[in-house]
Amino acid sequence: MFQSHDHHVKDNVCLTRSPYRNGKKLRAVKVYTIAQESKYLLIQNIPSIAGVVEQLLPYFNQYGNIEQYWRLDGYIRKDSTQDDEFFDTILIKFIQIQQARNAKRHLDDMNFMGSILHICYAPECESLDDLREKLNERRTIVQRKSEMNNYAKRKKSTMNTIRQNTPKKQCKIVYKQSTLIPKNDSISCPTNTIESPSLKSFERTTNEIRSKMREIVQKSNLIPIVLQQDIKKRKRLQI
């Protein structure tokens, strides 16, 4: 006869969490260690109807292959009530422990035929081989994650040293005051020189544009905002 334990009892919902930490659904705050997790899952509150277990198993097959399952006749819970005779309990064994984790996380508190299922781990059903396999798997996962973190740290440090040791190319451009025209016809750069267009052609084109703008203003008796700003700048320079 399968005995009931304290961890088979469903915990109460936590009501003291901060609002920003509450999800869409209130849950009990419980932390599982690798010793408390298991391939074995205990499913409670299954309606006692003929053929209901065969309808429930496909939900668990979505998260992994089921190695074996047992119907626990005569199972008495520690928080038993008068309605327990109308519900059944089954024990499922998955091939991998990660499959059991996913099934418990997604199917716990699921509404199945009007009844809310309660799923919990059953590590007391494990053998020595199951326990050894579980601990070795956890050890390899922790070792792999630590190696990945160390590799990321080494890569970051090497990239920083490469950036510090590589010389930076400096290229300076000297501009006139209050203009964007280079002071010299060429830009000084340590590697190569870049020739700019001659200043005479640039000044010639600007003078032509300004003369045309003055003619337009004299004809229309309107002073654009750009010319007003230019006139103000000239007055300031004259002062």
Residue 38 belongs to a domain: yes
Q: Residues 117, 46: contact at Cβ < 8 Å?
A: yes
Provide the domain count of the chain: 3
Residue 120 belongs to a domain: yes
Shared-domain flag, residues 189 and 109: no
The alpha carbon of 120 is separated from its chain's Cα centroid by a whole number of angstroms, namely 28
With a cut of 80, say whether residue 238 has pLDDT above it. no
Task: Convert the pLDDT of each residue in 197-222 to its tens digit.
Answer: 567 777 888 888 888 877 776 665 55
More confident residue, 167 or 19: 19
CATH number of the domain enclosing 53: 3.30.70.330
Containing structural domain, residue 184: 167-196
Give the confidence band of 162 by pLDDT, cuts at 50, 70, 90.
Answer: confident
Average pLDDT over residues 178-196: 46
With a cut of 80, say whether residue 96 has pLDDT above it. yes
Task: Convert the pLDDT of each residue in 34-74 to its tens digit.
Answer: 888 899 999 999 998 888 999 999 999 999 999 999 998 88
Shared-domain flag, residues 12 and 26: yes
Shared-domain flag, residues 11 and 113: yes
Could you give the CA distance from residue 52 to residue 45 in angstroms, rounded to a whole number?
12
> In the prediction, which pLDDT does 195 show?
45
Average pLDDT over residues 108-127: 90
pTM of the model: 0.59
Strands ordered across the beta sheet of 87-94: 66-71, 87-94, 40-47, 118-121
> In the prediction, which pLDDT does 225 show?
63
Q: Residues 69, 90: contact at Cβ < 8 Å?
A: yes
Of 126, 152, 179, which closes a domain?
126
Shared-domain flag, residues 171 and 211: no
Residue 138 belongs to a domain: no
Shared-domain flag, residues 181 and 82: no
Shared-domain flag, residues 32 and 67: yes
- Specify which residues 42 forms β-bridges with: 91, 120
> In the prediction, which pLDDT does 95 show?
92
Give the confidence band of 174 by pLDDT, cuts at 50, 70, 90.
Answer: low
Shared-domain flag, residues 118 and 45: yes
Q: What is the mean pLDDT of the chain?
A: 79
Residue 189 belongs to a domain: yes
The alpha carbon of 176 is separated from its chain's Cα centroid by a whole number of angstroms, namely 50
Shared-domain flag, residues 99 and 41: yes
> In the prediction, which pLDDT does 104 show?
92
Shared-domain flag, residues 121 and 177: no
Shared-domain flag, residues 11 and 122: yes
Could you give the CA distance from residue 61 to residue 103 in angstroms, rounded to a whole number?
9
Residue 222 belongs to a domain: yes
Shared-domain flag, residues 98 and 85: yes
Shared-domain flag, residues 107 and 209: no
Residue 27 belongs to a domain: yes
Residue 157 belongs to a domain: no
